[in-house]
Amino acid sequence: MGQAATLNPLLNFSDLPHFNLIRPEHVTPALDILLKAAHDAVQHASAPQTPATWEMIVEPVEMATEPLSRAWSVIDHLNAVSDTPTLRAAHAQNLPRVIEFWSKVGHNLALYEKYKCIVASSAYALLSDIRKTILHNAIRDFRLSGAELPEYKKPRFAQLHEQKAALSKQFSDNVLDATNAYTYFVTDDTELNGLPVDVINSARHMAEKDSRPGWKFTLHCPSYFPVTQYAEHRPMREAMYRAYMTRASELGPRYSCGKPQWDNTANMTEQLKLRAEEALMLGYQNFAQISLESKMADSPEQVIVFLDDIARRARPHAKKDWAQLQAFSANDLQLMPLKPWDIAYASEKLRRKLYAFSEQEVKKYFPESTVLQGLFRITEYLFDILIKPNSAETWHPDVQFFRVEDRDGRLLAEFYLDLYARESKRSGAWMNDARSRYRHANGTLQTPVAYLTCNFSAPVGDKPTCFTHGEVITLFHEFGHGLHHMLTRIDELSVSGINGVEWDAVEFPSQFMENFCWEWDVLTSITSNIESGEPLPRELFDKMLAAKNFQSGLVTLQQIVFSKFDMLLHTSHNPYGMLGVNTLARQVSDSCHVIPQASFSRWPNTFGHMFSGGYAAGYYSYKWAEVMSADAYASFKEAASTSGSVLNHETGARYRAQILEVGGSRSTLTSFEAFRGRQPSIEAMLRDNGMIT
Q: How many CB atoms lie within 10 A of CB 407?
A: 9
Q: Are 234 and 135 within one domain?
A: no
Cβ–Cβ < 8 Å for 38, 31: no
Cβ–Cβ < 8 Å for 395, 442: no
Q: Are 373 and 495 within one domain?
A: yes
Q: Are 92 and 216 within one domain?
A: no
pLDDT value of residue 96: 95
pLDDT in tens, 137-178: 999 999 999 999 999 999 999 999 999 999 999 999 999 999
- Residue 76: C-alpha distances to residues 79, 83, 105, 264, 420 (Å): 5, 10, 20, 21, 19
- Residue 370: C-alpha distances to residues 75, 430, 468 (Å): 32, 22, 13
Q: Are 90 and 28 within one domain?
A: yes
Q: Are 374 and 499 within one domain?
A: yes
Q: Are 200 and 68 within one domain?
A: no
Mean pLDDT calculated for residue range 237-255: 96
pLDDT in tens, 657-684: 999 999 999 999 999 999 999 999 999 9
What residues contact 249, with CB distance under 8 A and at least 6 apart? 260, 263, 264, 265, 582, 602, 605
pLDDT in tens, 398-454: 999 999 999 999 999 999 999 999 999 999 999 999 999 999 888 999 999 999 999
Cβ–Cβ < 8 Å for 433, 497: yes
Reported as a pLDDT band with limits 50, 70 and 90, residue 462 is: confident
Q: Give the CATH number of the domain where residue 419 resides.
A: 3.40.390.10
Instruction: Please report, to the nearest 10 degrees, the dihedral formed by the alpha carbons of residues 518, 613, 436, 493 taken in order.
Output: 120
pLDDT in tens, 195-227: 999 999 999 999 999 999 999 999 999 999 999
Amino acid at 474: T
Burial 213-239 (b: 16+ CB within 10 A, else e): eebbbbbbbbbbbbbbbbbebeebbeb
Nearest one of 497, 488, 485, 471 to 415, comparing CA atoms: 485
Which of 62, 66, 478, 626 is catalytic? The answer is 478
Q: Identify whether 515 is part of a domain.
A: no
Q: Are 89 and 217 within one domain?
A: no
DSSP 3-state assignment of 612? coil
Of 206, 230, 245, the residue that ends a domain is 245
Q: Identify whether 474 is part of a domain.
A: yes
pLDDT value of residue 20: 95
Nearest one of 119, 72, 107 to 91, comparing CA atoms: 72
- Residue 414: C-alpha distances to residues 478, 550, 665 (Å): 15, 37, 22
**E strand or H helix at 469:** helix 469-486
More reliable by pLDDT, 254 or 218: 218
**E strand or H helix at 475:** helix 469-486
Parallel, antiparallel or unpaired: strands 400-405 and 411-420: antiparallel
Q: In terms of residues, how long is the chain? A: 693
Amino acid at 155: P
The three-state DSSP-derived secondary structure of 105-148 is HHCCHHHHHHHHHHHHCHHHHHCCHHHHHHHHHHHHHHHHCCCC
Of 245, 261, 278, the residue that ends a domain is 245
pLDDT value of residue 3: 57
Amino acid at 141: D
The percent of residues in the chain predicted with pLDDT above 70, rounded, is 99
Ramachandran region, residue 339 (left: φ > 0; alpha: ψ -120 to 50; beta: rest): beta
Mean pLDDT calculated for residue range 579-605: 97
Alpha carbons 339 and 649: distance in angstroms, whole number: 49
Amino acid at 275: R
Nearest one of 216, 25, 37, 61 to 142, comparing CA atoms: 61
Q: Identify whether 342 is part of a domain.
A: no
Amino acid at 128: S
478 assigned to active site: yes
DSSP 3-state assignment of 286? coil
Q: Are 125 and 223 within one domain?
A: no
- Residue 277: C-alpha distances to residues 98, 104, 153, 164, 293 (Å): 21, 18, 12, 11, 17
Reported as a pLDDT band with limits 50, 70 and 90, residue 374 is: very high
Q: Identify whether 81 is part of a domain.
A: yes
- 333 phi, psi to nearest 5 deg: -110, -10
pLDDT value of residue 258: 86
For the chain, the domain total comes to 3
Q: Are 144 and 6 within one domain?
A: yes
Q: Identify whether 215 is part of a domain.
A: yes
Q: Identify whether 321 is part of a domain.
A: no
Q: Give the CATH number of the domain where residue 132 resides.
A: 1.10.1370.40
What sign does the dihedral 497-501-505-507 (CA atoms) show? positive
- The vertex-326 CA angle with 324 and 332, nearest 5°, equals 90
What residues contact 506, with CB distance under 8 A and at least 6 apart? 481, 484, 498, 621, 625
pLDDT value of residue 327: 97
* Residue 218 lies in domain: 182-245
Q: Are 389 and 489 within one domain?
A: yes
Q: Identify whether 590 is part of a domain.
A: no
Of 440, 471, 504, the residue that ends a domain is 504
In this predicted structure, the answer to whether residue 279 has a pLDDT above a threshold of 60 is yes
Instruction: Return the half-sphere exposure (C-beta side, CA atoms, 13 A cut-off) of residue 279.
Output: 19
Q: Which strands make up the sheet holding 411-420, listed edge to edge? A: 386-390, 400-405, 411-420, 449-456, 430-435
Q: Are 143 and 241 within one domain?
A: no
As a whole number of Å, the CA-based R_g of the chain is 25
Parallel, antiparallel or unpaired: strands 411-420 and 449-456: parallel
- Residue 189: C-alpha distances to residues 183, 192, 214, 233, 514 (Å): 17, 5, 8, 11, 38
Q: How many CB atoms lie within 10 A of CB 336?
A: 11
Reported as a pLDDT band with limits 50, 70 and 90, residue 6 is: low
**E strand or H helix at 454:** strand 449-456
Q: Identify whether 595 is part of a domain.
A: no
Q: Are 229 and 115 within one domain?
A: no
pLDDT in tens, 296-336: 999 999 999 999 999 999 999 999 999 999 999 999 999 98
The three-state DSSP-derived secondary structure of 639-684 is HHHHHCCCCCHHHHHHHHHHHHCCCCCCCHHHHHHHHHCCCCCCHH
In this predicted structure, the answer to whether residue 5 has a pLDDT above a threshold of 70 is no
The three-state DSSP-derived secondary structure of 510-538 is HHHHHHHHHCHHHHCCCCCCCCCCCCCCH
Q: What is the DSSP letter of 606?
A: G
